[in-house]
Amino acid sequence: MKYEGTVYRPPSEAYSLIIQVTIGCAHNKCSFCGMYKDKKFRIRTNDEIFRDLEEARKYHSLVKRIFLADGDALVLPTNTLKNILIKIKELYPECERVGVYGAPKDILNKSVHELKELKELGLGILYLGIESGSDNILKNINKGVNSQEMIEAGKKVKESGIKLSATLISGIGSKDGMLEHARESARVINHIDPDYVGLLTLMVERGTEIYNLVSSGSFELLSPEEVMLETKEFIKELKVSNCVFRSNHASNYMSLGGVLPEDKERLLLQLEKAINGQCSFKNERFRGL
């Protein structure tokens, strides 16, 4: 197998076999993201993908999960994805779940029927980077969609039966946008009601647009205490039915986790203690992506 460039995957795919079906990200314009700047986007051929799947089979006797990289595998035509999933079923009958990143525009370009077909063939989870529910912030970070389109994309995945893991970024609205980011993000999540919600914390990478904004002083980073305040406001506003919440990424200042709504009060109390200085935060040098 041959990987092209740096390969990224969600934390929950740590033990998955990773197969690149695209190289890079089709959008690749988000102001905060430096993940795929070293790659020119392209879709790999079926021959390349199948060759990797066949080669990996020689070395792995048991593969429970497969993740289709890079940034937005769902950009592939539905028939192409179906052929890949059929090949996975043929080569890896023990595989329990296939996962993908799904950009909102790519989801919107698929029908619910198409998504259901992909689910039937093994697509078990889709990771959607919402980042923020605020239209102002989504525009500022060049996400390429507004909050209503994000809601429509998320609800379409839920309707298909594919598990939906939504990701938000603490601090992405700067200090001025703390409350707007928290409240509007909760609004979007409440409309979608995803299966999982993950909170990352903004990390500024050299070479990104947001790095230049921070350097010029026009974007203010949140302190750990302010991140906790923003997170507290977000969780306080959440009204979801049965959602696994995690804020335990390497970028986070402290780990939080629970199932909402039953763990809501416990999480709010934990955040209140952190805001009041009763909890320690991760040292900046130990944060990473």
What pLDDT tens digit does each residue of the chain (289 aa) get? 889 989 999 999 999 999 999 999 999 999 999 898 888 999 999 999 999 999 999 999 999 999 999 988 999 999 999 999 999 999 999 999 999 999 999 999 999 999 999 999 999 999 999 999 999 999 999 999 999 999 999 999 999 999 999 999 999 999 999 999 999 999 999 999 999 999 999 999 999 999 999 999 999 999 999 999 999 999 999 999 999 999 999 999 999 999 999 999 999 999 999 999 998 999 888 887 6
d(CA 27, CA 238): 29
**Residue from 99, 81, 78 nearest 9 by CA:** 99
How many whole angstroms from its chain centre is CA 204?
Answer: 17
- In the chain the domains, ranked by start, together with CATH numbers, are 11-286 (3.20.20.70)
Q: Residue written as tokens 């970028």?
A: 251
